[in-house]
């Protein structure tokens, strides 16, 4: 059987990198290519570092890379609503060249605010992804692409009417590189929150809850992680006793998965209508912006449950996000293209 050759572009962070590593472990030639560098220092297979290229020369560099990629790869796996060019003119070129295409939607590139608000009063979206832009993007992508992947059922709800087929496949975590450090139930826990964008994650509600609990005399240390690269963030998460992810979006992020892999109890807001869509046994402690103070206080006061939640979280990630249990779902999809 011919070896599959798959190029992943143009951005996707560690989830895209881990997916490519997992695919390579199965004998597939998979390359993670980021177009721009990032402050997290992710070790992408290829980075075009377009931020270092003058604006008027960037398109030429992308075109050169694309022309070489057409000779080298059979499948083009697009992440976060992007392709080679903003106007998506590359899609017609790739189709005419007989290439197979798949779109992978992960969040702001698909989340329609008007639809999300009907289920979630707390939701916020990135201003650069207007509804008009999202709809135009999905219309163009689905004109050339039949199969799309959604990170979870929330994302699928926005894209399923555009594509011929949608597939809900969770991201892959390199569980072997994240060794668990279960909380020891100490009297003064370290609580960590690591927002990529405060306004999307509900950081203000977490800070307010922390202030209220501190004023009430509750003993804990709080660390807000910002401006650090990925390794520094992981080092702090490994030291944490409790991790708070996000309180606005309504579904767990990649940070929740990493924290669970490290054996940490995680607090995150999961929309009520989505709770049963996830596999049974997900041990995330659910909290909304309205309940975070009470939920955090309750968890702090139950140190005997921290390790129990951490052990359950680690087992959950191993079962539902490890290479061994997820990567074949991506490979099966490639064979359907």
pLDDT tens readout for residues 297-319 = 999 999 999 999 999 999 999 99
**CATH superfamily, domain at 5-172+322-336:** Glycogen Phosphorylase B; (3.40.50.2000)
Write down the pLDDT at residue 230.
83
Domain boundaries, the chain: 5-172+322-336, 176-320
Q: Which two tokens stand for residue 166?
A: 């949608």
* 176-320 CATH: 3.40.50.2000
pLDDT tens readout for residues 87-136 = 999 999 999 999 999 999 999 999 999 999 999 999 999 999 999 999 99
Q: Decide: residue 139, CB within 10 A, 0-12 exposed, 13-18 middle, 19+ buried.
A: exposed
The answer to whether residues 189 and 267 touch, using CB atoms and an 8 Å cutoff, is no
Which residues of the chain fall short of a pLDDT of 50?
none
The DSSP bridge partners found for residue 149 are: 104, 167
pTM equals 0.94
| 86 C-beta neighbours (distance < 10 Å), count | 10
């Amino acid at each position: 059987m011919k070896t599959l050759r798959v190029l992943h572009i143009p951005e996707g962070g560690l989830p895209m990198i881990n997916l490519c590593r997992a695919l390579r472990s199965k004998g597939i030639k998979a390359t993670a290519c980021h177009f721009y560098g990032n402050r997290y220092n992710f070790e992408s297979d290829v980075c075009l570092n377009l931020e270092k290229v003058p604006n008027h020369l960037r398109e030429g560099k992308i075109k050169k890379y694309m022309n070489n990629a057409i000779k080298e790869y059979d499948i083009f796996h697009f992440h976060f609503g992007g392709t080679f060019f903003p106007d998506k003119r590359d899609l017609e070129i790739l189709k005419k060249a007989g290439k197979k295409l798949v779109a992978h939607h992960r969040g702001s590139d698909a989340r329609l605010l008007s639809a999300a608000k009907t289920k979630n009063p707390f939701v916020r979206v990135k201003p650069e992804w207007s509804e008009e832009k999202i709809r135009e993007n999905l219309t163009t992508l689905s004109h050339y692409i039949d199969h799309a992947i959604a990170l979870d059922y929330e994302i699928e709800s926005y894209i399923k009417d555009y594509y011929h087929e949608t597939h809900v496949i969770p991201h892959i975590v390199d569980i072997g590189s994240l060794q668990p450090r279960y909380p020891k139930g100490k009297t003064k826990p370290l609580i960590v929150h690591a927002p990529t964008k405060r306004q999307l994650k509900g950081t203000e509600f977490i800070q307010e809850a922390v202030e209220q609990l501190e004023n009430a005399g509750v003993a804990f240390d709080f660390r807000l992680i910002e401006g650090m690269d990925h390794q520094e963030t992981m080092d702090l998460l490994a030291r944490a006793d409790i991790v708070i992810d996000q309180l606005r979006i309504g579904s767990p992020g990649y940070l929740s998965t990493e924290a669970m892999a490290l054996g940490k109890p995680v607090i995150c807001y999961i929309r009520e209508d989505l709770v049963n869509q996830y596999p049974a046994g997900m041990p995330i402690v659910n909290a909304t912006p309205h309940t975070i103070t009470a939920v955090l206080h309750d968890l702090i006061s139950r140190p005997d449950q921290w390790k129990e939640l951490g052990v359950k979280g680690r087992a959950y990630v191993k079962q539902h996000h490890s290479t061994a249990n997820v990567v074949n779902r991506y490979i099966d999809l490639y064979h359907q293209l």
